[in-house]
């Protein structure tokens, strides 16, 4: 952030209501629990959420920022629409791409927590990243994944992570994979892609909401083996971004 932007953020924090100041002091876990209560409390609660978003330093979105943004989006009043237009005309997550991929629709689906549609679109976007041949065949070679730009993987992962309260995303899956010693046979049951040694059936047996196990989404096709997943989890993006 520039010195001017930092000063602007500090000025906003100085002008916060007592309720917003108290909200800022809470732990992220408590903040997530308070957000639905603030929404249900009406205009006063919505003002707390809007002041909180205005005071956010906008370095990197986090799950509390994402939940606040989602909550205000769901209210969908003239007041919240004006607030978004004035303060966040491009949303809270930069939709950057090194290959001119449009992530706006994926952003909208994940903002609404339409996880099944977002999962389908994510696979399409990964194929777009790989090129025309992958789009036509509708699946990826592991060598194509190795060449993915870090910027695009960061964008896709951020969208999943921020709008799922930190439950979903490639970075989450990778963290679990590392915790089980990079053993895929231990990973699959943990994220409910296998049950009793049987592959979870798509789409009926997958869980398309936040009651799913951590790391359950997005899906990757394992029927051809783990080389694509291994390339994704070994990608250089994870050493460049601290997720």
- pLDDT of 60 reads 83
- pLDDT of 7 reads 41
Architecture of the structural domain at 104-240: Orthogonal Bundle (1.10)
Model pTM score: 0.92
The answer to whether 141 touches 228, Cβ cutoff 8 Å, is yes
* CA angle, residues 117, 71, 22, in degrees to nearest 5: 145
Locate the domains of the chain by residue range: 3-87, 104-240
pLDDT digits (tens, 9 = 90+) for 217-232: 999 988 778 999 999 9
- pLDDT of 241 reads 65
3 state SS of 106: helix
Cα 210 to Cα 78: distance, rounded to the nearest angstrom? 28
Largest CA distance in the chain: 57
The answer to whether 13 touches 55, Cβ cutoff 8 Å, is yes
- pLDDT of 242 reads 62
- pLDDT of 59 reads 78
- pLDDT of 224 reads 77
- pLDDT of 1 reads 42
pLDDT digits (tens, 9 = 90+) for 85-134: 999 999 999 999 999 999 999 999 999 999 999 999 999 999 999 999 99
Cα 163 to Cα 169: distance, rounded to the nearest angstrom? 10
Cα 210 to Cα 216: distance, rounded to the nearest angstrom? 9
- pLDDT of 154 reads 96
Low-confidence residues of the chain: pLDDT under 50: 1-11
């Amino acid at each position: 952030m520039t010195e001017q932007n930092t000063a602007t953020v500090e000025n906003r924090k100085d002008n916060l209501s007592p309720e917003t100041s108290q909200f800022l002091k809470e732990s992220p876990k408590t903040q997530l629990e308070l957000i639905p209560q603030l929404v249900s409390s009406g205009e006063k609660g919505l003002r707390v959420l809007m002041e909180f978003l205005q005071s956010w330093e906008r370095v990197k979105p986090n799950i509390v920022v994402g939940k606040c943004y989602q909550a205000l989006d769901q209210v969908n009043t003239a007041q919240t629409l004006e607030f978004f237009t004035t303060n966040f005309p491009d949303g809270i997550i930069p939709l950057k791409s090194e290959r001119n991929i449009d992530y706006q629709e994926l952003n909208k689906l994940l903002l609404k927590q339409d996880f099944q549609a977002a999962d389908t679109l994510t696979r399409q976007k990964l194929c777009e990243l790989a090129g025309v041949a992958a789009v036509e065949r509708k699946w990826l070679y592991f060598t194509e994944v190795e060449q993915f730009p870090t910027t695009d993987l960061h964008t896709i992962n951020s969208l999943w992570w921020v709008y799922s309260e930190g439950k979903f995303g490639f970075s989450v899956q990778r963290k679990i994979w590392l915790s089980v010693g990079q053993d895929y046979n231990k990973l699959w049951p943990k994220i409910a892609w296998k049950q009793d040694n049987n592959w979870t059936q798509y789409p009926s047996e997958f869980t398309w909401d936040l009651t799913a196990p951590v790391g359950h989404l997005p899906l990757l096709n394992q029927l051809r083996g783990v080389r694509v997943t291994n390339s994704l989890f070994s990608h250089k993006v994870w050493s460049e971004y601290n997720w």
